[in-house]
Chains A and B, each alone.
Chain A
Amino acid sequence: MTKIITTIAVAVAATVGLAACGSSSSSSSTTSSSSAPASTSTSAAKTTGGTLNGAGSTFAAPIYQQWGSNLKSQGLTINYNPVGSGTGVADLQTATVDFAGSDPALLPADKKAMKGPVLQFPVAFGAITVSYNLPGVKTGLKLDGPTIGGIFSGQIKTWNDPAIKALNPGMNLPSTSITVVHRSDSSGTTNGFTTYLTKVDPAWKLGASKLIKWPGGTGASGNSGVAAAVKATAGAVGYVEQAYALVNGFTYAAVKNGSSYVLPTIANTSLAATGVAVPADLGISTIDSKTAGAYPIVSQTFIDTYEDPCKDGGASSGTAAALKSFLSYAFGAGQATLGSGGSKLPYAPLTAPLAAKDNAQLAKLTCNGSPIS
C-alpha cells in the first residue's frame, strides 16, 4: 500500500512541479476576479480582463481559434470549445461562457431561457457543398434543389437516374448506386442544409433541424467523418462544409440558383450575403439566397453574448471590456483574415453594411448599465 501511495504522491508532485514551472512563464492563469459587482446572478465567471471563454459552432471554430492566436499579442486569450451550436447556446444560458458561437439565429425559445437580453452578431459565412465521390466524374456535375432532395431522401437511387441525367446532358453517368452520407451528430450544417431543402424541394418531408431521422444512407460523425466516408465509398455523396471541401480538394456539384448553376467558391458565397434581409435583432439567414450568382446553400454564423455581461453573465468589468475589444476586432481587422487565397481562412467575410450594423449594435454592450469604454 505504501508503495502505491508513494508512486501516486511522486506522480502528483512531479506534475504539479512541472505545471508550476510551465505556468510561471505564461501570462494567462485565471483567478477569481473580485471586481465583479454584486448581482442577482451567480458568482463571477472565471475570467479576468485577459481571457474570454466561448463555446459553440464547430463550423466557425477555426475562425475564433485563429483570432485567438492573432489577439494574443494584445494580451487577449480566447478559449473556444467547439461543442456544437446547441451546446454553445446552452452554455450561454447558464452563463458558463462569455460568448456562444451559433450557426442558426436564436429562436424565441432560446432567448427566453437566457438570463437577460442577448445580442447576436453575424460574423462570417460558409457554403455547404454537395461533395461526391464518383469515379470518372471529376468536375462539372450540376444539381438542383429538388434533385438534391430526391437524392438525400433516398428517392433517387442511382447516379444515372433520369433526374440527374436531365441536368447533365452529355455527361457519362455510371449506374453506380448512390450512397448518401449524412451527419449523425447534432449539427448546424445539417440544419442549414435541410432548411435549404425545405425551401426548394416541395417533396422534402423530413423537416429542417440539427438532427434528422434519415430514412437510409450512412451516418458519420462530424464533417471529418462525412468527408472520410465520402472519400472511401465510390458512389457516395454528402454535405460538407466549404472549408473542408476547399482545403482538402473535394469534388463538389454546382447547384442551381435561379437560372444558373453556381459553384461554392468564396466569391459566390459572399454574394449570398449581399441583399440579405436584416431583421432588427440581426438574425439573418443566407440560405437560399435569391441574389444572382450566389451559391444557394450558404450558412451564416453568429457570436451571441449578453447585452449586459456583467449583470447577467457574471463577468467582471475587465472581461466586458475584453469582450468589446474582441468583438470590434471581429467586425473590423479580423474580417481581413477571411476570404480566398493564400493565408486567409476559407470563409466569406461580412459585407460592409453588415459589418456596420454589427458595430452599431456593439454600442449596446453595457456593464451593469453603463457603457463600456
Chain B
Amino acid sequence: MEASATTAGGGRSGLERSPLSRLPDQVLQGVLSALAALILILIAYFFIRLIGKSSSAFSHFGLSFVFGNDWDPAHEIYTGLPLLVGTLVTSAIALIIGVPIAVATALFLTELCPRRARGPLAFLVDLLAAVPSVVYGLWGVFVLAPKLQGFEKWVANTFSIIPWIGGGADQITAAGNYFIAGLILAIMILPIVSAISREVLRTVPPEHKEAALALGATRWEMIRMSIIPYARPGITGGAMLGMGRAIGETIAVVLVIGDADNLGHHIFSQGYTLAAVIANEFGEGSNDPPHASALFAAGLVLFILTLIVNIIARRFVTRGQRGQRGAGGGGDAVVLATEEGSIQ
C-alpha cells in the first residue's frame, strides 16, 4: 500500500500547505466531531430519560433498591439485590469460561493452525455469532440444562465443602440455574472475543515474533513474550465487548436461569438478572407506574454497573496503549509535531 504523495496547491513540500487544501481536513474533523457529539447527546438523552422514568422508584426505596434482598411485585416491593448478584455471577462465569477459550482459539487460529484450515475454522467460530439469542436460550432449555443435570449433581456432591460451588444438589432441576446461564453466555460471547482477538493478533508485527524465535524461544514462549503483551489492550477491548453482551443479554438468560426472585445460595440455584426481570415483567409493568419505574431503575443500575466495570477495564487498556505508542519508536514525536503544526 502506498501513501499518496500529493503536493496540494503550490508548496513543494507537503509541510507547507495552502489554506484551501486545509479545508477538507477541517471539514472532515468537523464532521467527525459533530457525529461524535451527536452520539454523545443521544446517549445522554437516553440516560436522562432513563433516570426520569426510574426516579420514583429510587425516591421510594433509596439505596435499598440496590442492596435490599426482596423483589416482590405482587406486594409492590422492589429491592433488587438478587438481580444484581445474578447479573454479576452469570457475567463472571461467562467471562471466566469464555474469554480464555476465545483467546486460546484466536491464538490457535493465527499461530498454530495449518494454513489451509485457517479460513474454514475461523468461519465456524464466527458462525456462533450468527445464532440468535432466542435459539441459544431454547437450546439451553431443551438440550443443555437437562443433559448437564448429572454433571451438576456430581460437582455439588463432590465439592460440597467449598461454600458456594458445592452443596445444593437438591435444587438442581432441568430448568436452569446460574451455572447454565453463565455457560450459555460464555458460548454467546465466544465469537465476539475470538473475532476481535484474531484481528488484533493478526496485526502483531512479524519482527516482534521473529526476534523472539531468533533468540531461541519456543513457540509458546514467543507467544507469551511478544504476542500477548502487544495484543493485550486489543484483546481486553474485545473482552469488554463480550462482557457488555453478557451483562445485558436478556432472552437467552430469561429462558435458562430459572427466574427465581430469591437470592440463590449455590452456583446451581435458580436466580435472576437485571436484564431478565425487565423482559419478564414489562408486560405487567406497562400500566402500573411504580412497577414500570422499578424496571427502568433496574435498567439504570445495569447502566451504572457496566460503566464501573468498563472504567476499570479501560484503565487496563490505556496503560498498555501508552506503552505501545511509545514503542512505535521515536516516530511519535514527529507525528505529534506535525499534527500540532498542521491542524492546530
Contacts and interface: CB of A to CB of B under 8 A. Distances in A.
Interface string B265-298: 0000010000000011111111110000000000
Contact of A184 (B72, B74, B75, B259): B259
Interface residues of B, number: 29
Given A90-B286, A210-B284, A219 B74 contact: no
Interface string A207-237: 1011111100011110001001100110010
A229 B270 CA distance: 14
Contact of A90 (B173, B279, B287): B287
A84 B283 contact: yes
Contact of B287 (A89, A209, A221, A228): A89
A87 B283 CA distance: 5
B102 interface: no
A325 to B, nearest CB: 28
A87 B74 contact: no
Given A213-B71, A213-B74, A228-B141, A218 B286 contact: no
Contacts of A372: none
A219 B259 contact: yes
Among A110, A181, A212, A228: residue with most chain B CB under 10 A: A228
A214 B173 contact: no
A221 B283 contact: no
A232 B74 CA distance: 29
Contacts of B261: 213-214
A180 to B, nearest CB: 10
Contacts of A83: 283
Contacts of B258: 184, 218-219
Contacts of A161: none
Interface in A24-83: 83
B175 A181 contact: yes
Contacts of A113: 287
Interface residues of A, number: 35
B263 interface: no
A86 B175 contact: no
A219 B270 contact: yes
Interface string B72-96: 1111000000000000000000000
Contacts of B259: 184-185, 219-221
B336 to A, nearest CB: 26
B146 interface: yes
Interface string A180-213: 0100111100000000000000000011011111
A120 interface: no
A222 B271 CA distance: 17
B283 A185 contact: yes
B27 to A, nearest CB: 16
A179 interface: yes
A268 interface: no
B284 A213 contact: no
A85 interface: yes
A316 interface: no
A185 B283 CA distance: 8
Interface string A81-104: 001111101110100000000000
B301 interface: no
B287 A186 contact: no
B255 A225 contact: yes
Interface of A: 83-87, 89-91, 93, 110, 113, 179, 181, 184-187, 206-207, 209-214, 218-221, 225, 228-229, 232-233, 236
13 contacts: A179-B173, A185-B254, A185-B279, A185-B283, A186-B282, A210-B284, A211-B74, A211-B280, A214-B261, A219-B260, A228-B141, A228-B142, A233-B174
Given A110-B287, A206-B74, 4 more contacts: A184-B254, A207-B75, A225-B255, A229-B175
